[in-house]
Amino acid sequence: MSTPLLSDADIGRLKISFEFFPPKSPEMEGQLWETVADLGGWEPDFVSVTYGAGGSTREPTLVTVRRLIAETPLRTASHLTCVGSSKDDVRRVVEELQAVGVSRFVALRGDPPEGPGSVYRPHPQGYANGAELVKGLKSIGDFDISVSAYPEKHPESESVAADIEMLKRKADNGADRALSQFFFDNDQFERYMDAVRAAGITLPVLPGIMPIHNLTQLKRFAGRCGTSIPAFLDERFAGTEEDAERRFEVGADVAAEQIADLVRRGISDFHLYTMNRAPLTNAVLTRLGLARKG
């Protein structure tokens, strides 16, 4: 076994959380619950379940969250968006989730139903943005609330400064932490955090880590999210197009090295985008030196 990337002291401080998404088919449902059972052994700090644009996955999200709470010990957060919904619509969804035991939310404005890049139009009787949604949630109950953060600027934001001002509004309205969009340039993230702290924002910002399963597919997704792909990733994945095993190993190395570097820069909490697949996430955590707890 290779030498772990982190010391025992660093491992002792590390907290991880996972993101899942509701399944769209019976096959994907089976994969999700196998992944949940597998990754649950790491005893994450919490897990989150996504919620589609305009509430397009409301029912599958509710079913998934309900089962996570009922059948696992995992602290579970439901994503919640306000796009295309009135304040009354949001309250009804929140109360429905409360009824199955949800006390944690990831509060997001959400993408327009037409998808990223299309024009966002707030519902006339709804919340205009994520900051307003946080305030609305706090008026309903004393929830634990995570919000989004964008180290490379939200694609629709006019500037990084405007983005950071929005994060400050979310923090001022009661958010408990921010989960960042995935990124691959740690220097960029460190500069972003310097600007966040300079703006007086003390909110914890968890780096969002995306282990790479397929670089070509990731590039398409990253383009829609406004995430840059550094040249070193092309170099690292060169020659792996037809070698799935080698591609897996490189993907695990890249993500583990990114986390280890951020730990050296003082970060201890990380949010991993699992894509409902356990093997690559397992490999990343093993490389860091973590041991399963359950």
Residues with catalytic roles: 19
Catalogue the E-assigned strands of the chain.
15-20, 46-49, 76-81, 104-108, 144-149, 177-182, 205-209, 269-273
Max Cα separation, the chain? 58
3-state secondary structure of 149: strand
Which residue reads 């591609």 in tokens?
A: 247
Task: Please give the DSSP secondary-structure letter assigned to residue 41.
Answer: G
Q: Are 182 and 227 in contact (CB under 8 A)?
A: yes
Positive or negative, the CA dihedral 26, 77, 173, 187 is: negative
